[in-house]
Amino acid sequence: MYLKMKYLSLHSFLCVSIVCLIQCQPSSENVKRPNILLIVADDLGYTDLGCYGSEIRTPHIDALASSGSRFSSFCTAPTCSPARAMLLSGVSAHLSGFGTMAGDWAENQKGKKGYEGYLNFDIVPFSQLLKDAGYHTSIAGKWHMANQSKIEQWPVNRGFTRSFCLMRGAGGHFHDKQPFLSYFDEATYIEDSTFVDTLHHDFYSSQYYADRAIEYINESQEAEKPFFHFLSFTAPHWPLQVKDEHIDLYKDQYNDGYEVLATRRLKAAKEKGIIPLTSDIASLTPNVRPWSDLSDDEKLRSSKSMEVYAAMIERLDHHTGRVIEHLKSIGEYENTMIIFLADNGAEGNSILTYEDTGEWVERSFDTSYENMGRINSYVELGAGWAQAVSQPFKWYKAFATEGGIRVPAIVHYPKWNMEGGSIKDEFVSILDLAPTFLELANVPHPGKLYNDRPVHALQGKSMQSYVTDKSESIYSEDDVHAWELYGRRSVRKGDWKIEWMEEPYGTNSWELYNIKEDISQQHNVAQSHPEKLEELILGWATYEQRNGVVLPDRPTAYATESYWNDNQTKAEE
């Protein structure tokens, strides 16, 4: 009896001890998981930040760079929706729904896989995986990845706990919900699963999106969950607008014209270490008139467009700073990875030359010089300024050139102990963000099956080991990267890149550049390096086959003015 009792006591003691040991160990759920703040600017030029060589005041974003890392070779996509689809999915735009922009289909692209014009269901957004893993996920700002009549395509059904979004690609930045194209009645906003009827009278896009970011982050704190927030600014996308009190922030600073600004930006970018000291200036594209050829009135209006653009960027930085300061005030700054980037190159294309748009603008808005940049105005940046802020690269948004796809990008995460102010020069893709965030959160990607439905596996790679200097690069010299939109295409392999553009923008043939030696792509060396040209053309053929590319059988969006006047396709509602 004594032995039996002794055995039971020992057994009980061991059981209690084991339970206590398990309970006393910090479980994976109790360990504080990292937050993620993703900030995306819309149509921001390569050198539009102070830390990339700009005269525009961006102290809060520059501060992130000074204690984090800047990327000098971060590449996205030629336009916004494809870039954002690649970002959320980690999969090429041709597989995730944006082989072309919604409404811009050629006849042979309609109904094809990967050309749905919305973030399709052949992928699983990393936001959904983070939400499944217990994250509070939210977005404020531009969505532009849905048919707005299909709620299953809205953020609330693509992995976001909370959302306040502009559904289309652009709109006025004030409470009047100004549309950006003549065939839309107004800009459309949604909150979670509901359309927003009216905006607050003091609504300004950058300010309000930052307000919502703070609100959603607070909700995550109340729920005691780590957060992922996507602060998706619509600045500095046209129509260019700022509040009246900020109109004159850069008054008369651009009166010398875009060629002078291009030279200044190139010099400053070299001094910042963002581009090689041997970089040449990219020559003006054929659609840009020299500043000296403009009339006095044209110069006056053009320089004011750049003034408003610069003010928009300064205010974007200001409101970014408010969100960062809030993170510090609640003790979450040190535990938050912050990534800032632009979705594509600067916008140099003119919407005013398209079908009836110019007449609609003149008829519907106050286009006087005094009203430029204010509510009820309609202002674009213009090709000359877009070239200047894209130096040393050629062309801009909608082109697969470096000016269209290479963007400013910054990563800041105190727990990675990065060398403050460092510059990472190796190639990085927007495809790499999804795997980076998932690795940081310790959330696996499901591979090719999610909730019993087939999905595409990740194509990007985590950049954690590269950013933390545990590896020299993410990709090898043999890895091939490719882009295509509107039939314009490019392929990069190591230091070499080929590009194909239609006339009058290109030669209707493949051009070859060594972008290490010729970063501004001024010298086509296809004839002198035929073997390298064929090697990269083969890389394109492989990408085309693996990603289901359907090249348009006719020019589509962002084509020449004469084409647009006859053939513009309106986007679906």
Q: What are the extents of the domains in the chain? A: 35-43+84-337+349-479, 480-573
Query: Which token pair is 226?
Result: 């780590």
Classified as helix, coil or strand, 361 is helix
The residues, any chain, with a CB within 8 Å of residue 439's CB and separated by 6 or more, are: 462, 464
Mean pLDDT of 162-174: 97
Span 26-45, pLDDT tens digits: 334 457 899 999 999 999 99
pLDDT greater at residue 284 or residue 132: 132
pLDDT greater at residue 450 or residue 356: 450
Span 519-533, pLDDT tens digits: 999 999 999 999 999
Cα 98-166-307 angle, rounded to 5 deg: 100
- Residue in the block written with tokens 């632009």: 342
The residues, any chain, with a CB within 8 Å of residue 258's CB and separated by 6 or more, are: 288, 291, 302, 306, 382, 384, 385, 387, 388
Query: Which token pair is 496?
Result: 């070499």
Amino acid 418: pLDDT: 84
pLDDT greater at residue 409 or residue 571: 409
Classified as helix, coil or strand, 370 is helix
Query: Which token pair is 124?
Result: 């699983």
Span 73-111, pLDDT tens digits: 999 999 999 999 999 999 999 999 999 999 999 999 999
Span 435-449, pLDDT tens digits: 999 999 999 999 999
Kindly name the residue from 60, 94, 136, 144 that is annotated as catalytic: 144
Packing angle, helices 258-272 and 296-329, rounded to 10: 30
Burial 481-492 (b: 16+ CB within 10 A, else e): bbbbbbbbbbbb
Kindly name the residue from 51, 75, 80, 165 that is annotated as catalytic: 80
Categorize the per-residue pLDDT at 560 as very low, low, confident or very high, splitting at 50, 70 and 90: low
Query: Which token pair is 195?
Result: 């359309």
Contact yes or no for 40/145 (Cβ under 8 A): no
Query: Which token pair is 333?
Result: 């700054």
Question: Comparing C-alpha atoms, which of 43, 48, 42, 41 is closest to residue 391?
Answer: 48
Query: Which token pair is 233?
Result: 């600014």
- Residue in the block written with tokens 């060629």: 259
Query: What is the 8-class DSSP label of residue 205?
Result: H
Mean pLDDT of 54-77: 98
* Residue 388 to residue 385: CA distance in whole angstroms: 5
* Residue 256 to residue 346: CA distance in whole angstroms: 20
In this structure, are strands 227-232 and 336-342 parallel, antiparallel, or unpaired? Answer: unpaired
Q: Going by CATH, does the domain composed of 480-573 fall within 3.30.1120.10?
A: yes
Compute CA distances 547 → 23, 224, 261, 491, 566, whole Å.
Answer: 49, 40, 40, 14, 31
Question: Comparing C-alpha atoms, which of 116, 113, 129, 200 is closest to residue 164?
Answer: 200
Q: Is the pLDDT of residue 19 over 50?
A: no
Report the range of poorest mean pLDDT among 22-36, 175-189, 192-206, 415-429: 22-36
Mean pLDDT of 179-207: 95
Contact yes or no for 223/216 (Cβ under 8 A): no
Classified as helix, coil or strand, 425 is coil
* Residue 125 to residue 522: CA distance in whole angstroms: 38
Q: Is the pLDDT of residue 356 over 90?
A: no
Amino acid 3: pLDDT: 35
Which phi and psi angles does 174 have, rounded to 5°? -115, -175
The residues, any chain, with a CB within 8 Å of residue 24's CB and separated by 6 or more, are: none
Contact yes or no for 46/408 (Cβ under 8 A): yes
* Residue 309 to residue 315: CA distance in whole angstroms: 10
Question: Comparing C-alpha atoms, which of 147, 92, 123, 110 is closest to residue 550?
Answer: 110
Most distant CA atoms of the chain, gap in Å: 110
Q: Is the pLDDT of residue 501 over 50?
A: yes
Q: Is the pLDDT of residue 340 over 50?
A: yes
* Residue 531 to residue 295: CA distance in whole angstroms: 48
pTM: 0.93
Question: Is there a cis peptide before residue 530, judged by omega within 30 degrees of 0?
Answer: no
Query: Which token pair is 455?
Result: 């999905």
Query: Which token pair is 56?
Result: 């525009």
Task: Report the run of H or E that residue 439 belongs to, with start and end.
Answer: helix 433-441
Q: Cα 73 to the chain's mean position, in Å?
A: 14
Q: Is the pLDDT of residue 1 over 90?
A: no
Query: Which token pair is 171?
Result: 């709109």
Amino acid 404: pLDDT: 97
Amino acid 572: pLDDT: 37
Task: Report the run of H or E that residue 513 belongs to, with start and end.
Answer: strand 510-514
Q: Is the pLDDT of residue 52 over 90?
A: yes
CATH of domain 35-43+84-337+349-479: 3.40.720.10
In this structure, are strands 449-450 and 189-191 parallel, antiparallel, or unpaired? Answer: unpaired
* Residue 73 to residue 275: CA distance in whole angstroms: 9
Quickly count: other Cβ atoms within 10 Å of residue 509's Cβ.
Answer: 12
Query: Which token pair is 468?
Result: 């933390």
24 catalytically annotated? no
144 catalytically annotated? yes
Categorize the per-residue pLDDT at 284 as very low, low, confident or very high, splitting at 50, 70 and 90: confident
Q: Is the pLDDT of residue 16 over 70?
A: no
The length of the chain is: 573
Query: What is the 8-class DSSP label of residue 232?
Result: E
Q: Could you give the dihedral angle defined by the CA atoms of residues 432, 437, 438 and 443, in that order, rounded to the nearest 10 degrees?
A: 180
Which phi and psi angles does 429 have, rounded to 5°? -110, 150
Contact yes or no for 186/177 (Cβ under 8 A): yes
